[in-house]
Structure 1
Amino acid sequence: MSQTDKISLIDLQIMWNRLIAVVEEQGQILMRTAFSPIVRECGDISAGVFDLQGRMLAQGVTGTPGHVNSMAESVKHFIRHFPIETMKEGDAYITNDPWMGTGHLNDFVVTTPAFRNGKPVALFSCTSHLMDIGGIGFGPDATDVFMEGLYLPMLKLIDAGKVDQNVMAIIRANTRQPVDTEGDTYSLAACNDMGAKRLVEMMDEFGIETLDELADHICARSREAVLAEIVKLPKGTWRNEMVVDGYDVPVTLAAKLTISDDGIHVDFTGTSPQAQRGINVPHSYTTAYTVFGLGCVVAAQIPNNAGSLGPLTVSAPSGSILNAPKPAAVSSRHVIGQMLPDVVFGCLRQVIPERVPAEGTSCLWNLNVRGRTHAGAQGNYGFAMAVTSNGGTGARFDKDGLSATAYPSGVRGTPVEIAETQTPLIFWKKELRPDSGGNGRTRGGHGQIIEIESGVDASFEILAAFDRIDHPPRGRDGGGNGAAGYVGLKSGKKLRGKGFQEIPAGDRLVVLTPGGAGIGDPAERDPALLRRDIEEELVSAS
């Protein structure tokens, strides 16, 4: 097809769908070749294709909003550091800069140019969570980003097909798990290469020389579709505040949401200042989860790309916990960042309550565990793992919330069998937590009860980064609050919700994840649903 020929709308739509399939294959390859269980088993990744302007054209269905929507910004930073005209076939670039990547050092972003007939035609980018990148570990105790681990600026990882072994040596030397970390880095580069191969196959099939027309079509149609949904909404400004636990003092998340014909803007002025510990959030991650929350309510059926994201904008004061500048500690940025959909839902429920859920657990309750494989073991830690765990989501207007489900992150829970294979820990209990979902006409989802013990004669550490312990999810319209979270020892000692703590050999870690909040008067609940709840022993008969 010559450059002067117009591509038919049917072909444009087919190619758009193919791009989504290509990046989903890219994401699946990343998961199947990764070493870290949080990637391989839980899907803590992102994968996407971008045009030469840095516009995201398609994202893999598999992946987390925090990765996808912040990765969309990181590609622009890659282009700024490595202009398109300097890129060569076989190049790949890497960073884990929290302010130009996905918000903390544990996420590596790799971006690769795709070439056809010797000319660059697109960029593929992907992200995955690496379990250990040195420093004090994946927890919130650091006071600046330099304590949190290896910091990679924008670097060229592969030059015309040749891996920079100096970069790989630095990566290996700065982790407690060098084999896993190196393997995960190669898996990122490999999945991009396959994405580029599949894209070229598609371009050959349709006879197109560039993605320019397709990219313009995707972005324009998606933007139009989102604006068409926004036009249906009332115009004005609404406010909401939500208080969460924070590290050592509560944190207030304040939002002002404005709907106009041009889009939706969320301003977080009034939010608490940045914290001294690692729960701060770079602006890119704040934007990622805020626009995801907006998209779930306003544009749920519209594909996620640069066009659909364009009308959704976010601002937060510099120096606030939602726009913490370098060198703020940001390792556990997800604890606060994943609360943001609930914050904007509090604004939107004043406008379209039937489309907005009640508050839920929101942030992941990851069991970040680390320790020795046996008593007396010396040197680097024998294991380090994030066992992903979740609480309940908030009730929906006409349906109950989901139990033990990660929203908004979308990360799957780590299977017990995998955790027990990768670590010397024994899971004595992992079950739904009765009576944890808030009562209501529709009930909040239930949390979990988890009990873990070391299977060897050695203690282990929990790098706690939990929330909703002092400030559980709030009920709505007469619905009950979700149950608060809890962390402690089987012997009776209560543990802190955040920070490094030791679990003695012979004792058990007990974790109760929060439940989601309910909506409406519990007296209005369908009696058949209440009988089912009691029969399934999720709700007490009394």
Structure 2
Amino acid sequence: MKDQATLSPIKKQVIWTRLMSLVEEQAQTLLRTAFSSIVRECGDLSAGVFDTKGRMLAQAVTGTPGHINTMARAVFFFVDAIPVDAMCPGDIYVTNDPWKGTGHLNDYLVVTPAFRGGRVVALFACTGHMTDVGGIGLSTEGSDVFCEGVYVPIMKLAEKGVINETLMTVAKANSRVPTELEGDIYSLIASNETAERRLQELLNESGLDDLSEVADHIITTSRNAMAERIEALPYGTATYTMTIDGFEAPVELVGTLKVDDTGVSFDWTGTSGLSKKGINVPLNYTTAMTAYALVCSIAPDLPNNEGGLSLFRVSAPNTSIVNAERPHPVACRHIIGLLLPDVVFGCVQQLLPSCPTPSEGASTQWTLTFRGGRTDDPYAISIVTNGGSGARPGLDGLSATSFPSNVRGTPTEIVESSTPLLFWKRELREASGGAGQWRGGLGQDMEISSLDGHDFTLFAAFDRIDHPARGRQGGRAGSAGELSLSDGTSLPGKGALVIKAEDRLVVKTPGGGGYGAPADRDGDALTNDQHAGYVTE
């Protein structure tokens, strides 16, 4: 093998680029082989490569920031629990611990060591959202994490190539969709195996024994590049507040961004206290979404890895709804977690007025989690639907588009072919985007029922019903979300809601806020909006 100390800067960069390509194939393998529609169709996943210290070196473009940035911290927990020297070829590790994984029990995180010459040279990790892991499931109704499903600590999923059948049997026995769960677990395994094979090819072609020198280059280069961006920022402190629906009572989100000679810090002191229901957010997920918004604002063009992420400090009181500790319920941590970037952007705009921060958006996904069917033939499905994103300086908001998560909406055809659910209507919601010089994105207008003659249950986990997305710089708020029956009966945004077989469920997702004064909107743009039916006369 070649002396690794002689690697040229160009060769290091080529290998780095190959790693980014490699983990994208890792993610695409998971996307193609997953059983659950929320992974296969929507891309609710993440994939990445880590060095033997647990540092994330590269992430796949396919994946969500909540999964990716929590996974960036999670592998450190695996390395602490299972020393690299104790790992053996064929070993595979797993957890769905919300505080050591990606924030709630529905996400299984699988880590696979890659060996070369009898020693570990890298770790591959991937995660995917499991539709059902038992317990009360993906519901806001849980009183603690033990209600929310089967809790899997960091442990072996396979030992020296032999699958842990006890773990698989227990996991399947507690899931309402056991075949789907088993298939998804094997798809996570296959994803890492694909990446490991590609790494061996890369090391053979490069003449390397391991990734140590390249890993140090990636981390150091990324940290230095991020440090330069941070050093160019003006010193100052900014605070932004945002009221959202919450569960028992409205929740006040309060964030403070500080830039000084020690770097960038973000603190959530002042945010409302813990909820008794499953809308609490573990600090790892809060940190992931906060760092994501900061990176988007400060250095959107830099690769996302441990080098850059390590320079952001995020804190919150452990009595806060954004720093829930075990065993508080956290199943629907995404409801509040995905709204956090709006607060971060509000702070950024105060310190960096020239930064093109978007207006507030629907942000939280309106994921429709349904269960129904006969006792001997039940179904469970999570259908991703989205509202409108906030407008940006120079650009209208995106309609029916998930942000800050980037999961895709579940195709109607997939839902109707795999369940008795029927969409009578699914279209853009007229006039739901906030008016402005640049218009907020539109939400969706949907009408859903069941064809099997049985009642079905919606596990509602929605926000922006009482407190819609606000505009910026004179832009108006987007439309609030609405949930009701077709006879006009209003439904709450959170909780287990039984929909009678003869009823139709009406779902109207929120619109994004506008940006700039409506009077300044270009006349041609307004005419186009009217012709397209985006706004009323």
Same-fold status (TM-score > 0.5): yes
Q: Tell me the residue number matched to 1:90.
A: 90
Deviation at 1:319, TM superposition (A): 2.2
Deviation at 1:231, TM superposition (A): 2.1
Distance in structure 2 (CA, Å) of the matches to 1:31 and 1:478: 41
Deviation at 1:4, TM superposition (A): 5.6
- Map residues 55-70 of structure 1 onto 2, 5 A cutoff: 55-70=55-70
Q: SS of the residue aligned with 1:318?
A: coil
Distance in structure 2 (CA, Å) of the matches to 1:264 and 1:395: 26
Among 503, 506, 509, which residue is 1:507 paired with?
A: 503
- Map residues 55-454 of structure 1 onto 2, 5 A cutoff: 55-354=55-354, 355-372=356-373, 377-379=374-376, 382-454=378-450
Q: SS of the residue aligned with 1:493?
A: coil
Contact 2:242 2:252 in 1 (8 A): yes
Q: Alpha-carbon deviations, 1:100-123, whole Å to 9, x = none? A: 000000000000000112221000
Q: Tell me the residue number matched to 1:53.
A: 53
* Deviates further, 387-396 or 312-321: 312-321
Distance in structure 2 (CA, Å) of the matches to 1:368 and 1:187: 22
Among 475, 484, 491, which residue is 1:488 paired with?
A: 484
Q: SS of the residue aligned with 2:5?
A: coil
Distance in structure 1 (CA, Å) of the matches to 2:109 and 2:353: 37
Distance in structure 1 (CA, Å) of the matches to 2:240 and 2:262: 22
Q: Tell me the residue number matched to 1:532.
A: 528
Q: SS of the residue aligned with 2:113?
A: strand
Q: SS of the residue aligned with 2:6?
A: coil
Identical-residue share of aligned pairs (%)? 52
Q: Alpha-carbon deviations, 1:297-332, whole Å to 9, x = none? A: 111000110001111220011121111010000000
Counterpart amino acid of residue 285 in structure 1: Y
Contact 2:4 2:213 in 1 (8 A): no
Distance in structure 2 (CA, Å) of the matches to 1:129 and 1:488: 27
Q: Alpha-carbon deviations, 1:393-452, whole Å to 9, x = none? A: 001011111000000010000000001111100101110001100001111000010110
Structure 1 unaligned runs (5+)?
A: none
Deviation at 1:156, TM superposition (A): 0.3
Deviation at 1:155, TM superposition (A): 1.1
Deviation at 1:378, TM superposition (A): 2.1
Q: Alpha-carbon deviations, 1:172-209, whole Å to 9, x = none? A: 11101110001111111111111111111101111111
Distance in structure 2 (CA, Å) of the matches to 1:193 and 1:16: 19
Matched, 1:16 2:32: no
* Deviates further, 222-231 or 394-403: 222-231
Counterpart amino acid of residue 471 in structure 2: G
Contact 2:248 2:275 in 1 (8 A): no
Distance in structure 2 (CA, Å) of the matches to 1:50 and 1:459: 47
Contact 2:92 2:113 in 1 (8 A): yes
Distance in structure 1 (CA, Å) of the matches to 2:438 and 2:384: 27
Q: SS of the residue aligned with 1:296?
A: helix
Deviation at 1:352, TM superposition (A): 2.2
Deviation at 1:136, TM superposition (A): 1.1
Distance in structure 2 (CA, Å) of the matches to 1:169 and 1:257: 47
Deviation at 1:210, TM superposition (A): 1.7
Q: Alpha-carbon deviations, 1:482-511, whole Å to 9, x = none? A: 100000100111000000001111211100
Q: Tell me the residue number matched to 2:455.
A: 459
TM-score (norm 2): 0.99
Distance in structure 1 (CA, Å) of the matches to 2:530 and 2:54: 53
Q: Alpha-carbon deviations, 1:195-231, whole Å to 9, x = none? A: 1111111011111112111111111111111122222
Distance in structure 1 (CA, Å) of the matches to 2:327 and 2:278: 11
Counterpart amino acid of residue 187 in structure 2: S
Distance in structure 2 (CA, Å) of the matches to 1:82 and 1:228: 35
Counterpart amino acid of residue 127 in structure 2: T
Contact 2:111 2:125 in 1 (8 A): yes
Q: SS of the residue aligned with 2:350?
A: coil
Q: SS of the residue aligned with 1:349?
A: helix
TM-score (norm 1): 0.98
Q: SS of the residue aligned with 1:350?
A: helix
Contact 1:472 1:483 in 2 (8 A): yes
Contact 1:353 1:397 in 2 (8 A): no
Distance in structure 1 (CA, Å) of the matches to 2:171 and 2:190: 17
Counterpart amino acid of residue 489 in structure 2: K
Q: How many residues are treated as equivalent by the alignment?
A: 536
* Deviates further, 308-317 or 278-287: 308-317
Contact 1:338 1:363 in 2 (8 A): yes
Q: Tell me the residue number matched to 2:39.
A: 39
Structure 2 unaligned runs (5+)?
A: none
Counterpart amino acid of residue 231 in structure 2: V
Counterpart amino acid of residue 409 in structure 2: G
Distance in structure 2 (CA, Å) of the matches to 1:319 and 1:197: 45
Superposition misfits of 4+ residues, deviation over 4 angstroms: none
* Deviates further, 4-13 or 203-212: 4-13
Contact 1:227 1:262 in 2 (8 A): no
Contact 1:3 1:209 in 2 (8 A): no
Deviation at 1:232, TM superposition (A): 2.2
Distance in structure 2 (CA, Å) of the matches to 1:193 and 1:261: 44
Counterpart amino acid of residue 383 in structure 1: Y
Deviation at 1:41, TM superposition (A): 0.3
Q: Tell me the residue number matched to 1:518.
A: 514
Contact 1:230 1:261 in 2 (8 A): no
Distance in structure 1 (CA, Å) of the matches to 2:4 and 2:151: 46
Distance in structure 2 (CA, Å) of the matches to 1:151 and 1:491: 40
Deviation at 1:262, TM superposition (A): 4.3
